[in-house]
Structure 1
């Protein structure tokens, strides 16, 4: 997070290869003739590759700024591409009229396109309004930074950003906002750097705090969990789900969703054996990370992890957070 690179797709100059593209296509294979839902359309990198491979694609996104990329693919593939505005947490409802769906791809978190637009307020590397709203509506990062009490802000930074120095950061933020509200990304980044310092070679000190605020603003963990279960309801037997995540908290949720046994307590040999729950996903592929060539091309890929699995014929589960390892803010209801 935070290192600049090319946008995922340049509407004028053609596509820029998104993270783990070949690996995603391999996980969803075969693609030709299949109906695929790209639940996090973004700049359209995965959708374009899927369309070029012969798939029928439905793109979903809540960000209004994706419109130029939607238009580009609509013109290029009028018979095999359509777009639905909304969140991927509702993907089964949004594409209910599409007929059987063979595959779903989800790319979790902020996109290169969003990071590269200073006015969106996602990046501490560019000066812009402290916003971070993917849908451009609702509570902004500025609302949280300027409105939360110190303890609540510290708990948020710790739970969603794994920021060990969250209390000190929160204290500095509260002190800084006394005279004038904190309004810009660089202003907040400077406050955080002042609070905890910066060692040469380390990641920017604001990295974890910006991650936490973005996750909170966009309800990203709720979206992820609901989206995973929506895909489970939607996909036909043999359907494939591929999920690319960018930090350990998201990856843990995906891992345990595919294989609930990973998140459960270790069985004791002294207790009666409990019958295993039916598998909704099998086989579950091993996690895949970016190789050296991709990392050289795009430093943002360094934290990307792809997990994928195949849907069985077992009935979909009701949404259940138990065992998924979803971070909880201390003191929250």
Structure 2
């Protein structure tokens, strides 16, 4: 077996805002495995400024993997413990290499176009007018769950946007999620959560910055809105530490991005621990190309979690790859009449 990798820069159709800044491009890496005439491909979805493996030696680690690709995959994954996005790319590439169809990693009713995945519509930060426009578009195309990123513009303007949705749609018609990306200060977070709760919010992701487990635990115990951990899970590699974190904070939900928490295996460890503690969960993409999103979607479908997932990011980029993934009426479909078109000559 041989392996190579290639860097690729995804370009946003429109600059997308979070509380950490505005995104215009996103770097990613593709790992390709070769065995006889078969090729397997996986995406190592590094997320600059967020991934635990955003390190100067990232490409050196990819080179090391390519040079050692014939070692046992479990040994490789163990040695890549602190490089979760590379772990995920390796998992995908192996599955791709062994499958009859390089992009059908988990055959199911989903890949047979017989079923779909319910997803939330993502509203990026920006001006109030821009956010209103996004909300209008998502509602018009049939999303019943809206996730709005907050924390960058004036908080009262964000409350007004949420009020405008609630004035028109009750919680049975539209589910509202918000994502603060750690934007609130601990001493102001509870008051803001109380104000947000007036609009019957399903959940809030990461209200304060990660790395403050006791402040987060206090917030979870008092918040009128269920809190979901997201960034808090990044960089927690040890199973015992994972368990301790959930026991200390006791969130209502955790949100899993396979590229950031060690791929399928890493995510499943978190899921097992969460379910033992009666903590809910869902899966979210981390701005991968359609190659990574395809793998996440197929795996997610097989988990059988019926609540809306965060897998609607495939249409964000100008230079994404054409694939069978298709969003219609708030659901992600795998449309087999659409074919893969990609050019990754390595």
Higher strand content, 1 or 2: 2
Mark yes or no: TM-score above 0.5: no
* TM-score normalised by L of structure 2: 0.27
